[in-house]
Amino acid sequence: MDFKNKPFFITVTNKFTGQFFKEFLIDGLDKDSVIQTIISVCNIDPLSFNISAEEAPIDQANSWIDDKFPSGQSKHNVIDEEQRIVELIYNPMGNPYG
């Protein structure tokens, strides 16, 4: 899966505790539309979670899709291939590479 438009990193944090919840990578056209897409496709409640979007360089986004943990496990889960939405996952021991 490659990104064709503008990739965005979406960070979702708990509105009440400020703790990290999930991070997504999505292909879109603008910041507002990708946030709306994440809310609807991933069932994120904007009353409970803060959602921020940052445009990412296309080469960086594509490298995240190709990147794997040392165990060979992919660093993402595909949420919706048609809309190019992936959830980024992290090594439970921490990410020594980033």
The pLDDT value recorded for residue 51 is 96
79/98 Cα distance (integer angstroms): 23
The pLDDT value recorded for residue 66 is 84
DSSP-derived letter for residue 56 is -
The pLDDT value recorded for residue 96 is 46
The pLDDT value recorded for residue 95 is 46
The pLDDT value recorded for residue 11 is 93
Predicted TM-score (pTM) of the model is: 0.82
26 token code pair: 């999505």
**For the chain (length 98 residues), average pLDDT per consecutive 10?**
86 93 92 94 94 90 82 86 87 47
CB contact at 8 A, 83 and 27? yes
